[in-house]
């Protein structure tokens, strides 16, 4: 036997619950994480339709038994799994959604790494592009990912304007975070009011959390055509498929700093991997995998 050979400390069974999962990049990211950390294991996809609670509970039983070390959670289960957790981390509790779960002692813990993943990547991009500190952000959309983004920005000291087509949805989000630094306004994708929104206030950051521009609708943008963006604004588009969205392309064409959400995807995955294994995967290996 090769004296340098070390038995792996464990066989890490990891995976993702969601529906559908056909185009998920997570298996590639986590397989690269396992490999680069020298760990044995697999990352499996568990496509479970929203109505199949039996399959969901059977899978969670495998986490409880230790058969599965950790699970990611994506649409449409991020909010519905909350009810099945024994405990939530304060972040998951505040966001009202779980994107990663694991056992601690005899408790099944629901966690959320989307907020920290978003913030980590935003800071990285800002550092690379020489942006100044925290100021004022406009967040478009008020769905699941907006909850994580708003939570992250408020905790990082930003003033946030949340713009949604359904004010009721934005109002619910605002109620759950209850911060005087958050205000809510209405947003209609192709309406002049969107132009007024952008020109009326000096935003330093615009975050798109709507799915506009996502494959196959790659010619869509959450902003009206030919909108003149403030010169110093940073555009962060959570959509990462395609790799360069129309929003990011248009912003760059005007000389603005802009990034898609691929970095957030990598960061939230790396943070979940750390919670499951205690190992920090090198980010370069993860980027190379996708």
The binding site for ligand NAP (CB under 6 A) comprises: 75, 114, 141-146, 164-166, 169, 189, 209-212, 214, 238-240, 261, 264-265, 268
Among the listed residues 78, 231, 246, 252, the single catalytic one is 78
Q: How far is the CB of 243 from ligand NAP (least distance, A)?
A: 12
Written as six digits, the tokens of 17 are 């619950």
Nearer to ligand NAP, 122 or 164 (CB): 164
Nearer to ligand NAP, 85 or 207 (CB): 207
| Nearest approach, Cβ of residue 22 and ligand NAP (Å) | 13
Distances (CA, A) of 200 to 117, 138, 158: 30, 12, 18
d(CA 164, CA 1): 62
Q: Give the residue closest to ligand NAP by C-beta.
A: 143
Q: What is the CA radius of gyration of the chain?
A: 20
Which residue's structure tokens are 């099945």? 84
Chain-centre distance of CA 206, in angstroms? 16
Taking CB atoms within 8 Å and a gap of at least 24, the contacts of 169-176 are: 169/142, 169/143, 170/142, 172/142, 173/142, 173/146, 173/147, 176/94, 176/96, 176/147
Is 135 among the catalytic positions?
no
Nearest distance, CB of residue 269 and ligand NAP, angstroms? 8
Nearest distance in Å: CB 112, ligand NAP = 11
Residues labelled as active-site residues: 78
């Amino acid at each position: 036997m090769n004296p340098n050979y070390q038995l792996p400390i464990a066989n890490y069974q990891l995976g993702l619950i969601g529906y559908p999962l056909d185009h998920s990049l997570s298996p590639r990211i986590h397989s690269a994480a396992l490999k680069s950390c020298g760990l044995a294991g697999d990352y499996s996809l568990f496509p479970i339709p929203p109505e199949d609670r039996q399959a969901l509970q059977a899978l969670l039983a495998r986490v409880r038994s230790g058969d599965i070390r950790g699970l990611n959670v994506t649409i449409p289960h991020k909010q519905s799994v909350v009810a099945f957790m024994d405990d939530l981390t304060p972040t998951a509790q505040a966001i009202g959604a779980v994107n990663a779960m694991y056992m601690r002692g005899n408790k099944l813990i629901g966690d959320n790494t989307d907020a920290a993943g978003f913030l980590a990547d935003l800071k990285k991009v800002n550092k690379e592009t020489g942006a100044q500190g925290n100021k004022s952000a406009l967040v478009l959309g008020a769905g699941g990912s907006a909850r994580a983004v708003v939570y992250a920005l408020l905790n990082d000291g930003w003033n946030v304007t949340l713009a949604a087509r359904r004010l009721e949805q934005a109002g619910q989000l605002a109620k759950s975070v209850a911060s005087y630094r958050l205000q809510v306004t209405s947003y209609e994708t192709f309406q002049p009011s969107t132009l007024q929104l952008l020109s009326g206030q000096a935003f330093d950051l615009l975050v798109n959390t709507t799915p506009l521009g996502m494959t196959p609708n790659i010619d869509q943008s959450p902003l009206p055509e030919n909108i003149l963006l403030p010169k110093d604004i940073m555009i962060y588009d959570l959509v990462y498929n395609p790799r360069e969205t129309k929003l990011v392309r248009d912003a760059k064409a005007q000389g603005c700093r802009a990034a898609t959400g691929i970095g957030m995807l990598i960061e939230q995955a790396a943070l979940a991997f750390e919670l499951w294994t205690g190992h920090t995967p090198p980010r370069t290996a993860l980027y190379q995998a996708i």
